Amino acid sequence: MAIKKYHESRGDFHRNVCLIPVSAHGTNPASAALCNMKIVVVDCDEHGNVDTEDLRKKAELHKDKLSALMITYPSTHGVFEADVKEICNIIHKHGGQVYMDGANLNAQMGLTAPGFIGADVGHLNLHKTFSIPHGGGGPGVGPIGVMKHLAPFMPGHPVIPVDGRTKLTVAAAPYGSAGILPIPYAYIKMMGGKGLLASSAHAIMSANYLAKELENSYKILYRGQSGRVAHEFILDMREFKKSADITESDIAKRLMDYGFHAPTVSFPVVGGLMIEPTESEDKVEMDRFVDALVRIREEIREIEEGRADKDDNVLKNAPHTLKHIVCDEWTHGYSREKAAYPAPWIHTRGKIFPAVGRIDNVYGDRNLICTCPPTSDFL
Residue 351 shares a structural domain with residue 212: yes
Give the chain's count of helices (H) and strands (E): 13, 10
The pLDDT of residue 321:
96
**CATH code, domain carrying 338:** 3.90.1150.10
Task: Say how far residue 223 (Cα) sits from the centre of its chain.
Answer: 16
What residues contact 343, with CB distance under 8 A and at least 6 apart?
A: 258, 288, 291, 292, 295
The pLDDT of residue 306:
97
Residue 346 shares a structural domain with residue 282: yes
In a domain, 176, yes or no: no
Greatest C-alpha distance within the chain:
75
Distance, in Å, from the CA atom of 296 to the CA atom of 285, rounded to the nearest integer, reads 17
Select from 94, 33, 68, 59 the least CA-distant residue to 150. 68
Q: In what order do the strands lie in the sheet with 233-236?
A: 219-220, 233-236, 272-275, 264-265
β 17-21/66-72 pair status: parallel
Q: Domain span at residue 60?
A: 2-124+142-153
Residue 221 shares a structural domain with residue 357: yes
Distance, in Å, from the CA atom of 88 to the CA atom of 273, rounded to the nearest integer, reads 29
Residue 235 shares a structural domain with residue 147: no
Residue 148 shares a structural domain with residue 252: no
Tens digits of pLDDT across the chain (379 residues) = 999 999 999 999 999 999 999 888 778 899 899 999 999 999 999 888 999 999 999 999 999 999 999 999 998 899 998 899 999 999 999 999 999 998 899 999 999 999 999 999 998 888 889 988 765 555 567 888 999 999 999 988 999 998 888 887 777 788 777 888 899 999 999 999 999 999 999 999 999 999 999 999 999 999 988 889 999 999 999 999 999 999 999 999 999 999 999 998 988 889 999 999 989 899 999 999 999 999 999 999 999 999 999 999 999 999 999 999 999 999 999 999 999 999 999 999 888 999 999 888 788 888 888 888 888 888 8
Cis-peptide, bond into residue 29, ω within 30° of zero: no
List of long-range contacts for 34-40, beta carbons under 8 Å, 24+ apart:
35/1, 35/4, 37/4, 37/67, 37/68, 38/65
In a domain, 62, yes or no: yes
Question: Computed from CA positions of residues 150, 152, 153, 157, in that sequence, does the dihedral angle turn out positive or negative?
Answer: positive
Distance, in Å, from the CA atom of 258 to the CA atom of 281, rounded to the nearest integer, reads 17
Number of structural domains the chain divides into? 2
286 by Cβ neighbours in 10 Å (0-12 / 13-18 / 19+) ranks as middle
* Residue pair 74/81 in contact by the 8 Å Cβ criterion: yes
3-state secondary structure at position 220: strand
In a domain, 193, yes or no: no
**CATH code, domain carrying 112:** 3.40.640.10
In a domain, 78, yes or no: yes
In a domain, 378, yes or no: no
Residue 208 shares a structural domain with residue 342: yes
Please state, in angstroms and as integers, the Cα–Cα distance from residue 335 to each residue in 189, 236, 295, 298, 329, following that order. 52, 29, 16, 16, 12
* Residue pair 256/262 in contact by the 8 Å Cβ criterion: yes
β 97-102/66-72 pair status: parallel
The pLDDT of residue 136:
54
Residue 146 shares a structural domain with residue 268: no
Distance, in Å, from the CA atom of 51 to the CA atom of 194, rounded to the nearest integer, reads 34
Residue 226 shares a structural domain with residue 149: no
> How many residues can be counted in the chain?
379
In a domain, 197, yes or no: no
The type of residue at 283 is K
Residue 214 shares a structural domain with residue 356: yes
In a domain, 27, yes or no: yes
What residues contact 285, with CB distance under 8 A and at least 6 apart?
A: none
In a domain, 20, yes or no: yes
Which ranges of the chain would DSSP assign to H, the alpha helix?
A: 2-9, 27-34, 52-61, 84-93, 114-117, 182-214, 239-244, 248-257, 283-304, 322-326, 336-340, 345-349, 363-366
Residue 147 shares a structural domain with residue 216: no
Residue 9 shares a structural domain with residue 148: yes
Residue 146 shares a structural domain with residue 208: no
CA angle centred on 24, ends 19 and 27, rounded to 5°: 90
